[in-house]
Structure 1
Amino acid sequence: MRHLLPTTLLLALFGGTALAGQAPGPASAPDVPVGPRDRFYTSDQFSNTISVIDPAANKLLGVIRLGDTTPANLSPLYRGQLLVHGMGFSPDRKTLVAVSIGSNSISFIDTATNTVRHTTYVGRSPHEAFFTPDGREVWVSVRGEDYVAILDAGTGRESGRITVPNGPGMTIFSPDGRLAYVCSSFSPETVAIDVQRRQIVGRIKQESPFCPDIAATPDGKQVWFTLKDVGRVQVFEAIPPFKPLKTIETGPITNHVNIARAKAGQFAYVTVGGLNEVKVFRTDDFSAVATIPTGALPHGLWPSGDGARIYVGLENADAVAVIDTAANAVIATIPIGQGPQGVAYVPEAVPNGAGAPNLQPLGAAGQSSTLTLDGRDGKAATQVTLFDQGVLQTLQAAVTGLAPKKPYVLALSSDPKGAGPLEPLAAFMTNPAGAAVVNAIGPIRQVTLNPNESTRRSLVIVEGKPGETGATVQTQALR
């Protein structure tokens, strides 16, 4: 969820306790210091879990299992969730929503008991879901189609749809609750919607068609969104006529953006996967403040209730990096489930007690292996994680350093330099930044890390398409 109820209403509803003046709330709301009742949640795409963290202790408490790992989830009678991805939470902090893109579902989870209240199924490949400011509706960006699905927050039933440009990636709300902003992952256009009338009232040009994430500043003045394919962030005015303000070059595989307020001002934090960094910018003059190394493929991020910390999901490291915003440095790393995507920091999510009922241990979901592919110059270019799924692994490669908009093949080769016959794993096209996120599945760890040289295979990237491959451009490092 990217917006909270106005401060006066929160005070009336919750006996004087208001949520913080941090995104997604208004700047006028008081801060909530980090405490043991707070929770940080991550959507773990490959283990199909929600990791639950106590931010006061920077400790994983356990996971909520929404589905099984592969191959157990391949049955035609499988009923669990698949590819748990997006996340949001209600203004009263009592409900978490988790979006599963593979099973087209929205899971409504009770934050006090860590149990699923009900599950709603929507259209193809939903990406993110957020509550409206009054807490009555959940707006779901159905990225595989061309609409935002509106769900009743109490029953989970779909009550309406708003047609938007094809491939809506994410919806957030203005601090006053009057406008919703929807960026697109397939069309080069973001739209502003009048929430009450459910009508598009503004259109903002995206410099590329792939926006995965969008954030509104708590002061109500700006909207920031990321462009993953070209490695940029765009900023526009949050009110009509939605004037473009700035485009910032950030780097390959630019993922999410979020806002934190501190004594020194208001700052935008941006995850850049290809560089494994979080970049920090002022929102007043857009100047770069810091670059923070985090770990493999940073994805979602969210500020604590007082803006003192930023919690970052590391997609290819199965971990959360905790950033101190005063020092702009990582102060802790917490192991979690596999492939964290969307995240949420919920101040005072637990009403009382330890807040850990019904959580399960991480188990096999905490097991993974990493490999590196070097470019022709011998320098590391691509980081690969093999997420254990029992006898199989899900492979995810954060590919960088290739020519833009060209076809390539990730393959296994009996020759470490890629000579001779290849066994293709995945064909892919690089984005305009010469990068890509590539997935495959199989017993890859067993063959690439096999101590027997005669049966060992090496990961390589070659030019071209399956059956029409060219030169080898990246090879598995032996270190």
Structure 2
Amino acid sequence: MKYPYFQLALLSATLLAGSPPSWAGQVPGKASTSDTPVSHQDRVYAAEQFSNTVSVIDPVDNKLLGVINLGDPQPGNLSPLYKGEVLVHGMGFSPDHRTLAIVSIGTNSVSFIDTATNTVKHKTYLGRAPHEAFYTPDGKEIWVTVRGEDYVAVIDALTFDEKTRIKVPAGPGMQIFSPDGKYGYICSSFNPETVVVSVADHKIVDHVEQASPFCPNIAASPDGKQVWFTLKDVGKVQVFEAKPPFSIIKTIETGPITNHVNIVQNANGTFAYVTVGGLNQIKVFRTDSFEQVATIPVGNLPHGIWPSGDGSRIYVGLENADALTAIDTLTNKVVATIPVGQAPQAIAYVPGAVPEGSGMDNLKPLGLAGQATYLKLKAVGKAEDQAPTTITLFNQGLTQVLQAAVTGLNAKQPYTLALAEKADGSGNLEALASFMTNPAGSAIVNTIGPIRQIVQNDVPAQRRYLVVVTGKPDQLGAVVQVQAQ
């Protein structure tokens, strides 16, 4: 990375003062850790939910090198003899940067992948619907939030065996650790409560109240002072002290479908980057004043986010665009968009993941995992919205998984995604999926079927149009959103 003259002057002055540069140390490491410049030995990884793949990117060229196949698309993964993974979702990596821990929600597993060879070296099966996995800073344990139950599974990093469980409020969403390895912070997706756990003895030492029950993601600042977590259902981010008394410092309104948060240190300071899926934006906040300093438009439904080893870039998974976006953190501008597999969830940037060689072993081409159809819905009677409801039809062969990021509706109300006979929503309606909006008036809606063949049919009499209707399927009301043409 090349720095402008004023940054080089600042660097020289800081070094002469005998302290590390202000932009040294990126998550999950300490602020005192030296930055790692972007190189061809680094890798960016994306865990992809509907293609059951992990995409592997070289950050120097922002180029997709290939994917690691962990499973098959539907209907192959419906077989009772199926051995692959389903709903590849969560991701963590070891402190030595040699192992990925990939969580598959549907098959209750953690796949441990060798970063040098792109091969699975072990699988550990856990309880219902694990969500995220991360190594303790000393590399001795992997903690996995088992969101479908009420505990964190603690896995021995040498044997990959589950050695104990930490009882927590039901629905643990994600865990992250203080940079010094003293505390683990575990938020909940079902209860309005984050717990702080002593890593040494696995005991809960404190509780932090969440403003809502649904926290999917949490991040600790490299300086060991703050913990940030997202609240997807109400569109907020909260910040609390990383050390006793663990008090809430700030609550920030961010927007519908607030997904992930991560921390970046660079020459301009320390910043929290938040993915706001319902607005298709990244919002950037200073960690000292909490001032919002940037809004970055990106593609459909930004989800996971992770900085490079030197904080010069941050990478964002676009869940409804099957892409990864690279952002320059000094300018807060998008510098690259890279095609990846279907519905990227967790993202990880791993410096020095490939110590030598090309790192191309055992990678497969994107293939079917790169095929999808993208649609939008707009409010009835309005021009196309700035942040419309986005719909992606992920190709699964003869059928598609439909995922809609629905926004702009009334809070906590029943709606139905349906097929309409006419483009304006008139005529007969056929219900596809019913859903309830969250307090921010948004929702993630899924269904499956040969939907692309219907909504893009070349025969006008057979074509149908996606719409959102008030009410449940047995009592449909007014059409409120229609397919944008």
| 4+ long deviations beyond 6 Å | none
In the alignment, which residue of structure 2 is the partner of 1:446?
Answer: 453
Matched, 1:411 2:418: yes
Q: For residues 396 and 463 of structure 1, what CA distance do their matches in structure 2 show?
A: 18
In the alignment, which residue of structure 2 is the partner of 1:290?
Answer: 294
In the alignment, which residue of structure 1 is the partner of 2:35?
Answer: 31
Q: For residues 121 and 359 of structure 2, what CA distance do their matches in structure 1 show?
A: 17
TM-score normalised to structure 1 length = 0.95
In the alignment, which residue of structure 2 is the partner of 1:183?
Answer: 187
In the alignment, which residue of structure 2 is the partner of 1:268?
Answer: 272
Q: For residues 428 and 77 of structure 1, what CA distance do their matches in structure 2 show?
A: 32
Query: SS where residue 476 of structure 2 aligns?
Result: strand
Q: For residues 376 and 174 of structure 2, what CA distance do their matches in structure 1 show?
A: 32
Map 1:171-210 → 2, pairs under 5 A: 171-210=175-214
Matched, 1:376 2:380: yes
Q: For residues 22 and 355 of structure 1, what CA distance do their matches in structure 2 show?
A: 23
In the alignment, which residue of structure 1 is the partner of 2:69?
Answer: 65
1:68, CA displacement in angstroms? 0.1
Work out which of the residue numbers 346, 349, 352 in structure 1 matches 2:350: 346
1:394, CA displacement in angstroms? 0.7
Query: SS where residue 465 of structure 1 aligns?
Result: coil
1:134, CA displacement in angstroms? 1.3
Matched, 1:308 2:312: yes
Aligned letter for 2:103?
V
In the alignment, which residue of structure 2 is the partner of 1:434?
Answer: 441
TM-score normalised to structure 2 length = 0.94
Map 1:100-139 → 2, pairs under 5 A: 100-139=104-143
Gap regions ≥5 residues in structure 1 = 1-19
In the alignment, which residue of structure 2 is the partner of 1:82?
Answer: 86
Query: SS where residue 41 of structure 1 aligns?
Result: strand
In the alignment, which residue of structure 1 is the partner of 2:3?
Answer: none
1:425, CA displacement in angstroms? 1.2
In the alignment, which residue of structure 2 is the partner of 1:242?
Answer: 246
In the alignment, which residue of structure 2 is the partner of 1:392?
Answer: 399
Query: SS where residue 462 of structure 2 aligns?
Result: coil
Aligned letter for 1:302?
W
Matched, 1:54 2:58: yes
Q: How many residues get paired?
A: 459
Give deviations 1:94-146, integer Å, cap 9, x for gaps: 10010000111100000000000011110111000001111111100001111
Q: For residues 286 and 375 of structure 1, what CA distance do their matches in structure 2 show?
A: 33
Matched, 1:402 2:409: yes
Query: SS where residue 427 of structure 1 aligns?
Result: strand
Matched, 1:319 2:326: no
In the alignment, which residue of structure 2 is the partner of 1:463?
Answer: 470
1:263, CA displacement in angstroms? 1.1
1:372, CA displacement in angstroms? 1.0
Give deviations 1:192-222, integer Å, cap 9, x for gaps: 0011111111100000000000000000000
Matched, 1:219 2:226: no
Q: For residues 83 and 469 of structure 2, what CA distance do their matches in structure 1 show?
A: 38
1:374, CA displacement in angstroms? 1.2
In the alignment, which residue of structure 2 is the partner of 1:251?
Answer: 255
In the alignment, which residue of structure 1 is the partner of 2:21?
Answer: none
Q: For residues 285 and 255 of structure 1, what CA distance do their matches in structure 2 show?
A: 22
Q: For residues 152 and 421 of structure 1, what CA distance do their matches in structure 2 show?
A: 57
1:423, CA displacement in angstroms? 1.8
In the alignment, which residue of structure 2 is the partner of 1:7?
Answer: none
1:395, CA displacement in angstroms? 0.7
Aligned letter for 2:416?
V
